[in-house]
Protein backbone atom coordinates (compact mmCIF):
# COMPACT_ATOMS: atom_id res chain seq x y z
CA UNK A 1 0.00 0.00 0.00
CA UNK A 2 2.83 2.42 0.88
CA UNK A 3 4.70 1.50 -2.32
CA UNK A 4 1.70 2.23 -4.52
CA UNK A 5 1.14 5.58 -2.81
CA UNK A 6 4.79 6.54 -3.29
CA UNK A 7 4.52 5.59 -6.97
CA UNK A 8 1.37 7.70 -7.31
CA UNK A 9 3.04 10.75 -5.73
CA UNK A 10 6.08 10.30 -7.99
CA UNK A 11 3.74 10.13 -11.00
CA UNK A 12 2.01 13.37 -10.02
CA UNK A 13 5.32 15.21 -9.79
CA UNK A 14 6.57 13.63 -13.02
CA UNK A 15 3.47 14.67 -14.94
CA UNK A 16 3.96 18.22 -13.62
CA UNK A 17 7.40 18.29 -15.24
CA UNK A 18 9.53 17.57 -12.18
CA UNK A 19 12.66 15.41 -12.14
CA UNK A 20 11.74 12.70 -9.65
CA UNK A 21 13.81 10.33 -7.51
CA UNK A 22 12.01 7.63 -5.49
CA UNK A 23 13.56 6.37 -2.26
CA UNK A 24 10.74 3.94 -1.50
CA UNK A 25 11.81 1.01 0.64
CA UNK A 26 14.85 2.82 2.10
CA UNK A 27 15.36 4.08 5.62
CA UNK A 28 15.09 7.73 4.70
CA UNK A 29 13.52 10.89 6.09
CA UNK A 30 11.86 11.40 2.68
CA UNK A 31 10.36 9.01 0.11
CA UNK A 32 10.33 11.23 -2.98
CA UNK A 33 12.67 14.00 -4.10
CA UNK A 34 11.21 16.18 -6.85
CA UNK A 35 13.15 18.96 -8.57
CA UNK A 36 11.51 21.58 -10.75
CA UNK A 37 11.17 25.30 -10.16
CA UNK A 38 11.18 24.25 -6.50
CA UNK A 39 12.81 21.32 -4.75
CA UNK A 40 10.40 19.16 -2.75
CA UNK A 41 11.38 16.50 -0.21
CA UNK A 42 8.25 14.47 0.36
CA UNK A 43 7.37 11.98 3.08
CA UNK A 44 4.49 9.75 1.95
CA UNK A 45 2.21 8.34 4.67
CA UNK A 46 -1.03 6.38 4.47
CA UNK A 47 -1.98 7.73 7.90
CA UNK A 48 -0.49 11.09 8.84
CA UNK A 49 -0.87 10.19 12.53
CA UNK A 50 2.22 7.99 12.16
CA UNK A 51 4.39 11.10 11.75
CA UNK A 52 6.33 11.73 14.97
CA UNK A 53 8.09 14.94 16.09
CA UNK A 54 11.44 13.21 15.48
CA UNK A 55 10.55 12.17 11.92
CA UNK A 56 9.28 15.67 11.23
CA UNK A 57 12.56 17.13 12.51
CA UNK A 58 14.53 14.77 10.28
CA UNK A 59 12.54 15.79 7.21
CA UNK A 60 12.85 19.50 7.94
CA UNK A 61 16.57 19.16 8.60
CA UNK A 62 17.34 17.51 5.25
CA UNK A 63 15.07 19.98 3.44
CA UNK A 64 16.85 22.89 5.10
CA UNK A 65 20.22 21.45 4.16
CA UNK A 66 19.28 21.15 0.47
CA UNK A 67 17.26 24.36 0.30
CA UNK A 68 14.09 22.38 -0.37
CA UNK A 69 10.48 22.34 0.79
CA UNK A 70 9.50 19.62 3.29
CA UNK A 71 6.06 18.20 2.55
CA UNK A 72 3.85 15.35 3.76
CA UNK A 73 1.51 13.69 1.28
CA UNK A 74 -0.99 11.37 2.93
CA UNK A 75 -4.35 9.70 2.61
CA UNK A 76 -5.97 10.20 6.00
CA UNK A 77 -5.58 11.48 9.56
CA UNK A 78 -6.81 8.78 11.93
CA UNK A 79 -9.99 7.56 10.21
CA UNK A 80 -10.72 10.80 8.33
CA UNK A 81 -9.74 11.11 4.68
CA UNK A 82 -7.69 14.22 3.85
CA UNK A 83 -10.02 16.63 2.07
CA UNK A 84 -9.27 17.96 -1.39
CA UNK A 85 -8.29 21.64 -1.39
CA UNK A 86 -7.27 21.71 2.28
CA UNK A 87 -3.74 22.20 3.62
CA UNK A 88 -3.14 20.50 6.97
CA UNK A 89 -0.15 20.87 9.27
CA UNK A 90 1.72 18.52 11.57
CA UNK A 91 4.79 19.42 13.63
CA UNK A 92 5.61 22.40 11.42
CA UNK A 93 5.25 20.56 8.08
CA UNK A 94 2.46 21.11 5.56
CA UNK A 95 0.31 18.06 4.86
CA UNK A 96 -1.79 17.56 1.71
CA UNK A 97 -3.64 14.78 -0.06
CA UNK A 98 -2.80 13.68 -3.59
CA UNK A 99 -5.57 15.76 -5.18
CA UNK A 100 -4.44 18.88 -3.31
CA UNK A 101 -0.85 18.20 -4.40
CA UNK A 102 -2.03 18.24 -8.01
CA UNK A 103 -3.68 21.62 -7.37
CA UNK A 104 -0.51 23.04 -5.83
CA UNK A 105 1.65 21.90 -8.75
CA UNK A 106 -0.88 23.41 -11.18
CA UNK A 107 -0.57 26.79 -9.39
CA UNK A 108 -4.04 26.42 -7.87
CA UNK A 109 -3.00 27.10 -4.28
CA UNK A 110 -5.81 26.12 -1.87
CA UNK A 111 -7.18 28.75 0.50
CA UNK A 112 -8.44 26.44 3.27
CA UNK A 113 -6.17 25.13 6.02
CA UNK A 114 -6.55 23.61 9.46
CA UNK A 115 -5.57 24.98 12.86
CA UNK A 116 -5.88 22.47 15.72
CA UNK A 117 -8.51 20.56 13.73
CA UNK A 118 -10.56 23.63 12.76
CA UNK A 119 -10.96 24.66 9.12
CA UNK A 120 -9.80 28.22 8.51
CA UNK A 121 -9.17 30.71 5.72
CA UNK A 122 -7.09 33.86 5.63
CA UNK A 123 -8.64 37.00 4.16
CA UNK A 124 -6.66 39.80 2.60
CA UNK A 125 -7.18 42.13 5.56
CA UNK A 126 -6.75 45.30 3.48
CA UNK A 127 -9.23 44.12 0.83
CA UNK A 128 -11.70 43.11 3.54
CA UNK A 129 -11.62 46.55 5.15
CA UNK A 130 -11.93 48.26 1.74
CA UNK A 131 -14.92 46.06 0.80
CA UNK A 132 -16.67 46.86 4.09
CA UNK A 133 -16.19 50.61 3.67
CA UNK A 134 -17.22 50.46 -0.02
CA UNK A 135 -20.64 49.15 1.09
CA UNK A 136 -20.93 51.83 3.78
CA UNK A 137 -20.68 49.32 6.64
CA UNK A 138 -19.14 49.93 10.05
CA UNK A 139 -17.28 47.20 11.91
CA UNK A 140 -20.39 46.88 14.11
CA UNK A 141 -22.57 46.36 11.02
CA UNK A 142 -20.28 43.65 9.69
CA UNK A 143 -20.09 41.98 13.11
CA UNK A 144 -23.89 41.74 13.27
CA UNK A 145 -24.12 40.24 9.78
CA UNK A 146 -21.42 37.66 10.55
CA UNK A 147 -22.76 36.88 14.02
CA UNK A 148 -19.51 37.73 15.77
CA UNK A 149 -18.20 40.47 18.06
CA UNK A 150 -16.79 43.79 16.87
CA UNK A 151 -13.44 42.66 18.30
CA UNK A 152 -13.53 39.67 15.95
CA UNK A 153 -14.07 41.93 12.93
CA UNK A 154 -11.18 44.10 14.11
CA UNK A 155 -9.02 40.95 14.27
CA UNK A 156 -10.12 39.85 10.78
CA UNK A 157 -9.10 43.25 9.40
CA UNK A 158 -5.76 42.99 11.18
CA UNK A 159 -4.52 39.46 10.46
CA UNK A 160 -7.23 38.02 8.20
CA UNK A 161 -7.65 34.61 9.84
CA UNK A 162 -11.21 33.37 10.24
CA UNK A 163 -13.12 30.10 10.32
CA UNK A 164 -14.39 28.63 7.06
CA UNK A 165 -17.96 29.23 8.25
CA UNK A 166 -17.31 32.95 8.74
CA UNK A 167 -15.44 33.04 5.42
CA UNK A 168 -18.56 31.69 3.67
CA UNK A 169 -20.62 34.53 5.18
CA UNK A 170 -18.00 37.09 4.12
CA UNK A 171 -18.08 35.72 0.56
CA UNK A 172 -21.89 35.85 0.56
CA UNK A 173 -21.87 39.51 1.64
CA UNK A 174 -19.21 40.71 -0.77
CA UNK A 175 -20.22 38.55 -3.73
CA UNK A 176 -17.04 36.53 -4.17
CA UNK A 177 -14.80 39.61 -4.54
CA UNK A 178 -11.57 38.66 -6.35
CA UNK A 179 -8.48 38.51 -4.16
CA UNK A 180 -10.45 38.58 -0.93
CA UNK A 181 -8.93 35.34 0.37
CA UNK A 182 -5.23 34.51 0.30
CA UNK A 183 -3.89 31.18 -0.98
CA UNK A 184 -1.79 29.01 1.33
CA UNK A 185 1.89 29.26 0.50
CA UNK A 186 2.86 25.59 0.68
CA UNK A 187 6.34 26.61 -0.52
CA UNK A 188 7.00 28.74 2.57
CA UNK A 189 7.48 25.74 4.85
CA UNK A 190 9.51 25.67 8.02
CA UNK A 191 12.91 24.09 7.38
CA UNK A 192 16.06 23.94 9.47
CA UNK A 193 19.30 22.03 9.41
CA UNK A 194 20.16 20.28 12.68
CA UNK A 195 22.71 17.49 12.92
CA UNK A 196 21.40 16.60 16.39
CA UNK A 197 18.37 15.04 14.71
CA UNK A 198 20.59 12.26 13.38
CA UNK A 199 22.89 11.48 16.31
CA UNK A 200 21.22 8.08 16.78
CA UNK A 201 22.22 7.00 13.28
CA UNK A 202 25.99 7.55 13.53
CA UNK A 203 27.83 4.22 13.30
CA UNK A 204 31.56 3.88 13.91
CA UNK A 205 32.28 4.02 10.17
CA UNK A 206 30.09 7.08 9.69
CA UNK A 207 31.72 8.83 12.62
CA UNK A 208 35.17 8.07 11.22
CA UNK A 209 34.22 9.44 7.80
CA UNK A 210 32.56 12.46 9.41
CA UNK A 211 35.72 13.33 11.34
CA UNK A 212 37.95 12.81 8.28
CA UNK A 213 35.83 15.16 6.18
CA UNK A 214 35.78 17.76 8.91
CA UNK A 215 39.58 17.50 9.25
CA UNK A 216 39.95 18.08 5.51
CA UNK A 217 38.00 21.32 6.00
CA UNK A 218 34.48 20.57 4.81
CA UNK A 219 31.28 21.88 6.38
CA UNK A 220 29.81 18.46 7.21
CA UNK A 221 26.18 17.54 7.88
CA UNK A 222 24.68 14.20 8.90
CA UNK A 223 21.41 13.04 7.37
CA UNK A 224 18.94 10.19 7.38
CA UNK A 225 18.55 9.60 3.65
CA UNK A 226 20.00 7.37 0.93
CA UNK A 227 23.11 9.56 1.52
CA UNK A 228 24.50 9.64 5.05
CA UNK A 229 26.70 12.75 4.97
CA UNK A 230 26.55 15.94 2.93
CA UNK A 231 29.70 17.95 2.32
CA UNK A 232 29.23 21.62 1.48
CA UNK A 233 31.56 23.09 -1.12
CA UNK A 234 30.99 24.86 -4.45
CA UNK A 235 29.21 21.61 -5.28
CA UNK A 236 27.53 19.52 -2.59
CA UNK A 237 28.98 16.05 -2.15
CA UNK A 238 26.43 13.38 -1.25
CA UNK A 239 28.21 10.65 0.65
CA UNK A 240 26.98 7.12 1.29
CA UNK A 241 28.78 5.37 4.17
CA UNK A 242 28.03 1.66 4.54
CA UNK A 243 29.34 -1.90 4.58
CA UNK A 244 25.92 -3.34 3.72
CA UNK A 245 26.45 -4.86 0.27
CA UNK A 246 22.88 -6.13 0.02
CA UNK A 247 21.53 -2.58 -0.20
CA UNK A 248 24.56 -0.56 -1.24
CA UNK A 249 24.23 -0.92 -5.02
CA UNK A 250 20.73 0.58 -5.08
CA UNK A 251 21.63 3.28 -2.58
CA UNK A 252 24.56 4.40 -4.71
CA UNK A 253 22.31 4.50 -7.77
CA UNK A 254 19.66 6.56 -5.97
CA UNK A 255 22.26 8.97 -4.57
CA UNK A 256 23.66 9.48 -8.08
CA UNK A 257 20.14 10.32 -9.27
CA UNK A 258 19.72 12.79 -6.40
CA UNK A 259 23.07 14.47 -7.07
CA UNK A 260 22.11 14.76 -10.74
CA UNK A 261 18.75 16.34 -9.87
CA UNK A 262 20.03 18.71 -7.20
CA UNK A 263 23.45 19.39 -8.68
CA UNK A 264 26.49 17.94 -6.95
CA UNK A 265 28.83 14.96 -6.68
CA UNK A 266 28.44 11.55 -5.05
CA UNK A 267 30.83 9.14 -3.36
CA UNK A 268 30.61 5.93 -1.35
CA UNK A 269 32.80 5.20 1.67
CA UNK A 270 33.12 1.52 2.65
CA UNK A 271 35.61 -0.76 4.39
CA UNK A 272 34.93 -3.72 2.12
CA UNK A 273 36.30 -4.65 -1.30
CA UNK A 274 34.46 -2.72 -3.99
CA UNK A 275 32.42 -4.38 -6.70
CA UNK A 276 29.86 -1.61 -7.19
CA UNK A 277 29.73 1.21 -9.69
CA UNK A 278 30.47 4.86 -8.97
CA UNK A 279 33.21 6.53 -6.96
CA UNK A 280 34.06 4.22 -4.04
CA UNK A 281 36.71 4.99 -1.41
CA UNK A 282 37.95 3.31 1.75
CA UNK A 283 38.36 5.26 5.00
CA UNK A 284 42.16 5.03 4.70
CA UNK A 285 41.94 6.74 1.31
CA UNK A 286 40.59 9.83 3.08
CA UNK A 287 43.50 9.96 5.52
CA UNK A 288 45.97 10.90 2.78
CA UNK A 289 43.85 13.78 1.50
CA UNK A 290 44.88 17.17 2.85
CA UNK A 291 42.51 19.72 1.29
CA UNK A 292 38.97 20.04 -0.02
CA UNK A 293 40.23 20.87 -3.51
CA UNK A 294 42.28 17.68 -3.57
CA UNK A 295 39.23 15.63 -2.60
CA UNK A 296 36.96 17.32 -5.18
CA UNK A 297 39.56 16.73 -7.91
CA UNK A 298 39.59 13.06 -6.96
CA UNK A 299 35.81 12.81 -7.39
CA UNK A 300 35.74 14.82 -10.60
243 shares a domain with 165: no
Average pLDDT, the chain: 89
Domain boundary among 137, 158, 182: 182
140 shares a domain with 55: no
**Higher-confidence residue: 272 or 19?**
19
Contact 225, 62 (CB under 8 A): yes
Q: What gap in Å lies between CA 91 and CA 167, rounded to an integer?
A: 26
Query: Is residue 215 assigned to a domain?
Result: yes
pLDDT at position 275, please?
A: 64
27 shares a domain with 104: yes
**Higher-confidence residue: 67 or 178?**
67
Q: Strands 161-163 and 93-96, how do they pair?
A: unpaired
Q: What gap in Å lies between CA 90 and CA 71, rounded to an integer?
A: 10
User: Is 196's pLDDT higher than 50?
Assistant: no
pLDDT at position 199, please?
A: 55
Q: What is the pLDDT of residues 75-87, one digit of tens each?
A: 998 888 999 999 9
Domain boundary among 65, 84, 110: 110
Query: Is residue 15 assigned to a domain?
Result: yes
Query: Is residue 190 assigned to a domain?
Result: no
The structural domain count of the chain equals 3
Task: Residue 251: give the domain boundaries.
Answer: 195-299
123 shares a domain with 94: no
Contact 228, 199 (CB under 8 A): no
Q: What is the pLDDT of residues 18-66, one digit of tens each?
A: 999 999 889 899 999 999 999 999 999 999 999 999 999 999 999 999 9
pLDDT at position 101, please?
A: 95
199 shares a domain with 130: no
277 shares a domain with 210: yes
For residue 207, give the CATH number of its domain: 3.40.1350
- Cβ atoms < 10 Å from Cβ of 19: 16
150 shares a domain with 64: no
Query: Is residue 189 assigned to a domain?
Result: no
142 shares a domain with 52: no
278 shares a domain with 225: yes
12 shares a domain with 62: yes
pLDDT at position 246, please?
A: 79
**DSSP secondary structure, the chain, as one string:** -HHHHHHHHHHHHHHTT-EEEE-TTS--S-SEEEESSSEEEEEEEEEGGG--HHHHHHHHHHHHHHT-EEEEEEEEETTEEPPTTEEEEETTEEEE-HHHHHHHHTT----EEEETTEEEEEE-HHHHHHHHHHTT--HHHHHHHHTS-HHHHHHHHHH-EEEHHHHHHHHHHHTS-TT-EEPP-TTS------GGGGGGG--HHHHHHHHHHHHHT-EEEE-SSSSSEEEESSSEEEEEE---HHHHHHHHHHHHHHHHHHTEEEEEE-SSPP-SSS-EE-HHHHHT--SHHHHHHHH-
Q: What gap in Å lies between CA 100 and CA 74, rounded to an integer?
A: 10
Query: Is residue 33 assigned to a domain?
Result: yes
Query: Is residue 187 assigned to a domain?
Result: no
268 shares a domain with 251: yes
pLDDT at position 175, please?
A: 82
Query: Is residue 188 assigned to a domain?
Result: no
Q: What is the pLDDT of residues 113-164, one digit of tens each?
A: 887 778 999 999 999 999 999 999 999 999 999 999 999 999 999 999 999 9
- pTM comes to 0.87
Beta bridge partners of 95: 72, 88
**Higher-confidence residue: 279 or 133?**
133
201 shares a domain with 175: no
Q: What gap in Å lies between CA 101 and CA 13, rounded to an integer?
A: 9
For residue 136, give the CATH number of its domain: 1.10.260.40
Query: Is residue 148 assigned to a domain?
Result: yes
For residue 69, give the CATH number of its domain: 3.40.1350.10
Amino acid sequence: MKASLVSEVARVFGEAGYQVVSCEGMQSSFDVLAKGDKLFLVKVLSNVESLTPKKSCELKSVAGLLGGVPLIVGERIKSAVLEDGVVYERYGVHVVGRETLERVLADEAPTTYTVRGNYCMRANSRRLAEARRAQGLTQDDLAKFLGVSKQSVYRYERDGRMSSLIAERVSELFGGLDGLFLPNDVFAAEASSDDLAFEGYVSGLKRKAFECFRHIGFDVSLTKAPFDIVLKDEDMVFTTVSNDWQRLERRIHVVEEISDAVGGLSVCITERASSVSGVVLKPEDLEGIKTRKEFIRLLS
